[in-house]
Homo-oligomer: A and B are copies of this chain.
Amino acid sequence: MQKETARLIELDREHTLMSHISAVLGWDQETYMPSKAIQERASQLALFEGLAHQKAVNPEIGELLATLEAKHDLSPDEKAYIRKVRRDYDIETKLPEAFVTEYARSTSIAQVKWAEAKKDNDFKAFESHLEKIVGLSRELAGYLNPNARPYDVLLDLYEPGSSQESITAVFSTMKAYLVDILDKIRAKPQIEDKCLGRYVSSETQEQISLYFMKVLHFEMDRGRLDVSAHPFTTSLGADDIRITTRYVEDYFPSSLFSTIHESGHALYDMGIDPNPEFRGTKLAEAVSMAVHESQSRLWENIVGRSRAFWERNFLALSALLGEAGRDLDFESFIESVNRVSPSLIRTEADEVTYGLHIIARFELESALLDGNLRVADMPGAWGEKYKKLLGLEVPNDRVGCLQDVHWSIGYFGYFPSYALGNLYAAQFWAKLKEEVPDIEARIASGDTLSVLTWLRANVHCHGSRYMPGELVEKATGSALDPVWFEKYLREKYSSIYGF
């Protein structure tokens, strides 16, 4: 290893420690922090982001990068590492420190205001905060690339190489088959959701969540489960990966599948290990939000809602449910958790309509960032979009445009990752089945480790060694293709709904 690389790693590790400290503050804010502490926490985060930013823009990094980029005897991992550091350094150095501080403070406050506004179903109380965040997001895009459309700049932050145009292309293919499959399902008799209305206490649901985290090989000494308004996964360290869930006491599948989803994220983070020399550096970070999401959705939907998985695990679930699960049979459970029905809440949506929720957000945030939609008009625009895409009336903002935390924390451009994640997941799964042909039989016998092992070897272990496009090619032999998701959906749902 070059001595400049070693020095770069040293500086980078300090920055990673800072990010993890910031994650501790964020995690605490979402889980346990007393309500009146919010202003001080915002000040703490603002101060801290400023300090982290100072470390990230250290000119020594720029000098080391320039020296290393001129060399011709770098190892492949050094090359990959330098590419990643360069990308992040360019992003950081373009942002003024005062902006970074202001951004951290404003998103911290807006997130709390969002939670209150959602609780009170009061969009007006959130409006000025959202306006502030939209303005800051546009400002951020302007710093990074003043010549590009702001939304394109933000999309590229989460999925390197993507743009509104490239995503529109993929989404229009996906939209066509989602609508077709949905039409076929609608022509068949609807499944009754037999999980609905069974009272299961938060305590019992917590036990269920913890049980399935263990089944999926979540390492409990490297992470934990807590409760927050919106489930999330966060890294407070390479050995400290925490997930959260929320308990809906008359619908236990909500926490069950959100826990499996977040566990999928956590398993990715727990499995990143590109090269011991690069531990605690940017090479040991996830490659993109969409690949991250492919992991959560593969575990939640492709494995977690499969017949094979429940063949082995349904008895344990029944036992944990106790009286509430007494008259819930295996077939009804499988059907219920794979029921397809247009609904208002993205996080509760089925696999078929989920993509339509994302398309709605993609189009709305694009309009917001382009200045074609005023923040004040969001509730109305949201209603129209849901009417058009999902055929639903939106009765209030709590189940409408206030349902997601993302915009309050400035995550414009993040939503498309969820749908891209489904596409990646289906493509990984198709390759895994090709290489491990008896994978479903293995899962049915209780072995989910075979799935994890394949993902560790082909996705997790690489960290940021490849660009997302390179990774999917390396892992599956071809570029991202929405056809795999279509195949997966048609096969599964033609069987469930009998079309």
Show the binding face of A for B, using Cβ within 8 Å: 14, 17-18, 20-21, 24-25, 28, 32-37, 39-41, 43-44, 47-48, 51, 219-224, 226, 236-240, 242
Majority DSSP secondary structure for residues of A touching B: helix
Residues of B within 8 Å of A21, CB to CB, are: 21, 25, 44, 47-48
A220's nearest neighbour on chain B, judged by CB, is B34
Contact A37-B226, Cβ < 8 Å, known A24-B28, A28-B24, A44-B20 = no
The reply to whether A221 and B34 contact each other, CB–CB distance below 8 Å, is: yes
Contact A44-B14, Cβ < 8 Å, known A34-B221, A37-B222, A51-B51 = no
CB of A219, distance to nearest CB on chain B (Å): 8
CB of A8, distance to nearest CB on chain B (Å): 17
Residues of B within 8 Å of A222, CB to CB, are: 34, 36-37
CB of A46, distance to nearest CB on chain B (Å): 9
6 contacts between A and B (CB under 8 A): A17-B43, A18-B47, A34-B221, A37-B222, A37-B239, A44-B237
Residues of B within 8 Å of A48, CB to CB, are: 21
Identify which of B28, B41, B239 contacts A28 (C-beta below 8 A): B28
CB of A328, distance to nearest CB on chain B (Å): 28
A47's nearest neighbour on chain B, judged by CB, is B17
CA distance A220 to B37 in the complex (A): 11
- The 8 residue pairs across chains A and B that have the minimum distance between CB atoms: A37-B240, A40-B237, A36-B239, A35-B221, A36-B221, A36-B222, A37-B237, A17-B47
The reply to whether A14 and B47 contact each other, CB–CB distance below 8 Å, is: yes
CB of A390, distance to nearest CB on chain B (Å): 39
Residues of B within 8 Å of A219, CB to CB, are: 36
CA distance A171 to B242 in the complex (A): 48
Residues of B within 8 Å of A240, CB to CB, are: 33-34, 36-37, 40-41
Of A25, A39, A220, most B-chain CB atoms within 10 Å = A25
Contact A20-B32, Cβ < 8 Å, known A14-B47, A47-B14 = no
